[in-house]
Chain A
Amino acid sequence: MSKDRNQEPLFRVENLSQYFNVGRKQVLKAVDQMSFNVYKGETLGLVGESGCGKSTTGRCLVKLNQPTSGQVYYRDKDIFKQTREEEKNFRKNVQMIFQNPHSSLNPRMTVKDIVGSGMKRHGVCTEQDVDAKVEALLKRVGLNRDHISRFPHEFSGGQKQRIGIARALSVNPEFIVCDEPISALDVSIQAQVLNMLKELQDELGLTYLFIAHDLSVVKYISDRVIVMYLGTIVEYSDAEELYRNPLHPYTQVLLSSIPVADPKAVKEKQRIMVKGEIPSPINPPDCCRFAERCPYTTDICRKEIPTLREVSSCHFVACHRIS
């Protein structure tokens, strides 16, 4: 799965910022000056804890939010300046899988309508073929034929999530934003869905933006990984490299906090402690956002915002310690 970095990226995000006014002089900077590329055929992982802005970023990429500033280019065209025709094409090719299976399906529609309506709209198949295609899709995601006329509330969380995946796939998209697609699922179902996403990617040549807070899962499925903290990118590189050689203190903390399913390994593991709670993204300071909790903070960390620098091949870090 070598990704040719010299090719044009499928998505180019430049200085994306999403700010919200939440009160007098209170600005919530959910996403602050983010820039990255997504290449065709890869899985780009976006990882961070709550409040880091990963979901907001994902929603910008599918045009659910209008960013405060910055640009998002899909195949070199600014997605917020599209013609009708371009937008229709965009909607067919860029889809999303949502986090909460219980609220991502219309409770008043049958599975057939949920999965089939997109197909009809984008002319993927004719009216007569819809039933057959929906059944085939359901089978592909591991559900039965007789589920086609049931309602969402009759299914378990895992099944609902698979219906959501079937819906995203129904229009043969090229790019799918997976917004925490497995967080709300049981462990064994998570594995099912992950495997399915991987297989589908190989089969259909899909590109994923995989948003999650579980590092083990992100490492497993991603080619490259971006680590976010309070709306900014703190580190990004190839998945293997990031886990083998995490440079940013926050990445190190995240990695060492993961509970390991192995009692002997737990006893041997050294944990890197981090102080305090995740601060609020409202009116963040004009210096390194991680400074107050970092175990290695120095003076400069409290004064200047670190810039994202390439430290080794395709490994970028935003940290004053690493120069």
Chain B
Amino acid sequence: MEDAKNNILELSHVEFSFRTYGGTVKSVRDVSFNVREGEVLGIVGESGCGKSVTAQCILRLNPEPPGFFEGGSIKYRGEEITTKKDKEMRKIRGIEIGFIFQDPMTSLNPTMKVGRQIEEVFVGRENISRKEVKQKTLEILQLVGINEPERRYNQYPHELSGGMKQRVMIAIALVGRPSIIIADEPTTSLDVTIEAQILDLLKELQQKTHTSIIMITHDLGVIAKMCDRVIVMYGGKIMEKGTAEEIFYETAHPYTAGLIKSIATLDTDKNQALVPIEGTPPDLFSPPHGCPFAARCDFAMQVCYDDLPEEYRLSDEHVTTCWLQHEYAPKVAIMMRETEEAAYE
């Protein structure tokens, strides 16, 4: 069972939706997971699966209205987050839980010097002098691998390259020494050599400071490199969760299997067709009744279209939400590449 003592963040049956002109969009539908001290938890999924909204829920960064919690609870060190006012959330943002945004180009204020943006984390906090704040800022700039911190401190974002800007974002997230950092696709917009540098940096910092990281990405390669445990999301729900090894080597959910099979790696043979997942993610404006993945699943059964599947526990960490685990279901090899295409119209 999950060690409850080590959990610093607990999400339980969280439901978050947005009111729009056409109706309510259910972006997060019954999501539950925990984050432990010192671990790197990956949340992987494609656009529209709800991973970013979930992450932003933790720090209440989603605009409310039109967003609102339809149900569930988020507890940070035992304190309930969903009911906190904005003033109370400010005590948590930056200091207890940090956030690295996806696009450094647009996440940094172009009219403010870099040093000042990092120091903003400390605005409104007592017990800390200006001198100490600047000291911490210079330290953190050095820590994230920015040479000549004094010079960079006084520069504006446009004077920095993409990789440097992202390092500044990491500095902003880390300077308050938070217990958890949420990294929302931190390397998606970076070139591959810079991405490798940034991921190495994050890994190094994580090991040094023992911070927990929630790494949100759509790139399985990043997951393999960085994460201890992984959550796979689709259509606003969790499809599978487990350790990284279990997810990659003992894949239990057809969606995860589909993701892994559809990636071209350096070892993929040219004559071997990639196995894509046909179709498009569901519009959460009117989510399907049963399993959200059924319409695109090679192994979908009638029950999958009719009802939401239950959770099945396969090991201490490994849980999958799929009807294939039911005793009535046939045994199938979901990772096989030559699958029969049964198209149901």
Chain A contact residues, CB within 8 Å of chain B: 49-50, 142, 156-159, 186-192, 194-195, 198, 213-217, 219-221, 239-240, 243, 253-266, 271, 274, 277-278
Contacts and interface: CB of A to CB of B under 8 A. Distances in A.
A187 B220 contact: yes
28 contacts: A187-B262, A188-B46, A188-B276, A189-B280, A190-B276, A195-B273, A214-B192, A216-B264, A221-B264, A239-B270, A240-B270, A253-B193, A254-B192, A257-B192, A257-B195, A259-B221, A261-B221, A261-B265, A262-B224, A263-B245, A265-B224, A271-B196, A271-B200, A277-B162, A277-B194, A278-B161, A278-B191, A278-B193
A274 B163 CA distance: 13
Given A257-B195, A258-B192, A190 B262 contact: yes
Question: Which of A50, A159, A263, A274 has the most B CB atoms < 10 Å from its CB?
Answer: A263
Given A257-B192, A260-B225, A261-B223, A187 B259 contact: yes
Interface string B259-297: 110111110101001111110110000000000000000
Contacts of B224: 259-263, 265-266
Nearest to A280: B161
A220 B264 contact: yes
Question: Which of A50, A158, A186 has the most B CB atoms < 10 Å from its CB?
Answer: A186
Nearest to A154: B283
Interface of B: 46-48, 161-164, 191-196, 199-200, 218-225, 244-245, 248, 258-260, 262-266, 268, 270, 273-278, 280-281
Given A187-B220, A261-B223, A263-B245, A274 B193 contact: yes
A239 B271 CA distance: 13
Given A216-B264, A259-B225, A260-B221, A188 B194 contact: no
| 3 nearest CB pairs, A to B | A259-B221, A191-B276, A191-B262
Contacts of A188: 46, 258-259, 262, 276-277
Given A259-B199, A260-B224, A261-B221, A159 B280 contact: yes
Nearest to A243: B266
Question: Which of A217, A243, A260 has the most B CB atoms < 10 Å from its CB?
Answer: A260
Contacts, number: 134
A162 to B, nearest CB: 10
Contacts of A194: 264, 274, 276
Contacts of A255: 266
Contact of A191 (B191, B225, B263): B263
Contacts of A156: 47-48, 280-281
Given A187-B219, A266-B224, A50 B266 contact: no
A253 B222 CA distance: 17
A264 B248 CA distance: 10
A213 B47 contact: no
A129 B163 CA distance: 51
A142 B262 CA distance: 17
Contacts of B222: 259
Contacts of B161: 277-278
A2 to B, nearest CB: 13
Nearest to B248: A263
A317 B46 CA distance: 38
A281 B278 CA distance: 40
Contacts of A157: 47
A186 B47 CA distance: 7
A80 B275 CA distance: 41
Contacts of B270: 220-221, 239-240
A259 B195 contact: yes
A219 B270 CA distance: 8
A288 to B, nearest CB: 17
Contacts of A215: 192, 266
Contacts of A261: 220-221, 223-224, 248, 260, 263, 265
Contacts of B192: 49, 213-215, 254, 257-258
B276 A217 contact: no
A158 B265 CA distance: 21
A217 B196 contact: no
B159 to A, nearest CB: 12
B227 to A, nearest CB: 8
B274 A220 contact: yes
Contacts of A277: 161-164, 194
B266 A258 contact: yes
A8 B267 CA distance: 32
Contacts of B193: 49, 253-254, 257, 274, 278
